Amino acid sequence: MQSKRLFFIGSLLPCLMIILSLTGCWDSVELNRRAIVSGVAIDRGPTDEEKYVLSFQVIIADEISGENARGASPVVVYKGSGRTMFEALANASRQTARFLSLGHIRVIIISEKFAREGIKDMMDVFERESETRLSSYIFISKGQPAIESLTTMTAFGKIPANDLVEKLQTTSKQYGYNYRMEVDDIVRGIQLPGGGPIVNGVMVIGGDQQGSNDSLKDIKPKAILRVTDLAAFKEDKLKGWLQGDEAVGTSLIKNEITQIPEVVSIGENEYVSFIVYLSQVHIHAEAKDPEHPIITIYISEQAGLEESPNALDLTDPKVVNNLSELLEQNIKDKLHAAVSAARSLKSDYLGFGEAVERENPRGWKQVKDHWDSIFATCEIKFDVDIVVRHTDMRNNSFQFNNIR
């Protein structure tokens, strides 16, 4: 009996030792020793020794909570430079008494200058680093240093990075062609056959009082942070900017439209406005002959009439059908503009090559090395179907009744 008890204790002790050794984490950092980073800006340095200039927007928790607020800025920006991103991070950490915590980064802003050189090395870091998350939003700073977007205070939020995320979410639902683009989306876009990713642009309008709350004391802010055009890439290098019809058509083809306003001309200085929603897109490639593929873009959408300041009889089905046809032509014009822009930039970010590869994998291997020349001349068809579902709160305008 005694020997069994000793055997049990002897077996239990090693287990207890193992459990006790697993109760801690060698690299743990207490919460009160962390500086929460909400946004990162990446600028190109003047030399290769300072190639990466990283700016970290750090949240000042006391100013956010309000209990121990001192009336200072709710965020502060620390900057570091180096030959690599990790070296720049290490240099920036010399300026703060806490560890820069990267697990809550919401936005990553890259300068246009750096984006034209290439972003694949940066994406590798964000994908590899264990603290960062792949759901951070990516932006390209259009024509400005990226740091300017992190040092502009905003009226609707204490933290500029959060405000930028909310602006993107709002415009994607109301205006249309800007949509969420995360680290993971950019990494996959770089690997797109013959193409590259599409990235949202951002810029500061005004900017006389960046980094100061003084610009918010006026009814009209001196500096406004704005989500702007779409940056089009070839592999990992920025090739150009898309705006207007080119941007709308690109987002339509990539099936990223939630809803978007459309204005149809029905005569001289006469227009009808629609809201287009429930867009469904399918890209089909006839690729039996991969050297001469035929790409067909099928789009079905629904629309609601929002504005008709004229004397149209909206109870007449023929009138509504005519408006649907005009609306379909509007959408086709935007698709043509998107394809023309992609061809001029020599980048198949629209995903036509991917459709050919999906349809004929063996044939794609034969053409992938010279896909650029095929993409520039291949036949592209558009099949658009739009149904006008409603005219909102009323049918005919009161102007129709007055004329009748």
> How confident is the model at residue 330, as a pLDDT?
94
Task: Check whether 190 has a pLDDT greater than 80.
Answer: yes
> How confident is the model at residue 102, as a pLDDT?
86
pLDDT, tens digit (0-9, with 9 covering 90-100), for 334-356: 999 999 999 999 999 999 999 99
| Rounded mean pLDDT, 252-281 | 89
Q: Given pLDDT bands bounded at 50, 70 and 90, which one contains residue 98?
A: confident
Q: State how far the Cα of 304 lies from the Cα of 275, in Å rounded to an integer.
A: 5
Third-level CATH fold of 244-404:
GMP Synthetase; Chain A, domain 3 (3.30.300)
Task: Check whether 8 has a pLDDT greater than 60.
Answer: no
Cα dihedral 294, 358, 177, 256 in deg (nearest 10): 130
CB 278 within 8 A of CB 299: no
- Across the chain, mean pLDDT equals 86
Q: Are strands 270-286 and 294-307 parallel, antiparallel or unpaired?
A: antiparallel
Q: State how far the Cα of 184 lies from the Cα of 164, in Å rounded to an integer.
A: 19
pLDDT, tens digit (0-9, with 9 covering 90-100), for 30-45: 656 677 889 999 999 9
> How confident is the model at residue 172, as a pLDDT?
82
Task: Check whether 207 has a pLDDT greater than 80.
Answer: no
Q: Which residues contact 371 (CB under 8 A, 6 or more apart)?
A: 193, 194, 348, 353
CB 394 within 8 A of CB 344: no
CB 117 within 8 A of CB 98: no
**Domain ranges within the chain, ordered by starting residue:** 244-404
> How confident is the model at residue 31, as a pLDDT?
59
How far is C-alpha 337 from the geometric centre of its chain's CA atoms?
21
Rg of the chain on CA atoms, in Å: 27
> How confident is the model at residue 100, as a pLDDT?
83
> How confident is the model at residue 83, as a pLDDT?
94
- What phi, psi does 201 have (nearest 5°)? -95, 155
**One-letter amino acid of 291:** E
Q: Given pLDDT bands bounded at 50, 70 and 90, which one contains residue 303?
A: very high
Tokens 């990992």 sit on residue: 236
Axis crossing angle, helix 317-345 with helix 245-253, rounded to the nearest 10: 90
> How confident is the model at residue 225, as a pLDDT?
87
Q: Given pLDDT bands bounded at 50, 70 and 90, which one contains residue 60?
A: confident
Tokens 């993409």 sit on residue: 375
| Lowest mean pLDDT, pick from 18-27, 53-62, 63-72, 137-146 | 18-27
> How confident is the model at residue 25, as a pLDDT?
63
Q: Given pLDDT bands bounded at 50, 70 and 90, which one contains residue 315?
A: confident
| Lowest mean pLDDT, pick from 174-188, 213-227, 364-378 | 213-227
Percent of the chain with pLDDT over 70: 84
Q: Given pLDDT bands bounded at 50, 70 and 90, which one contains residue 51?
A: very high
- What phi, psi does 144 have (nearest 5°)? -140, 155
Task: Check whether 389 has a pLDDT greater than 80.
Answer: yes
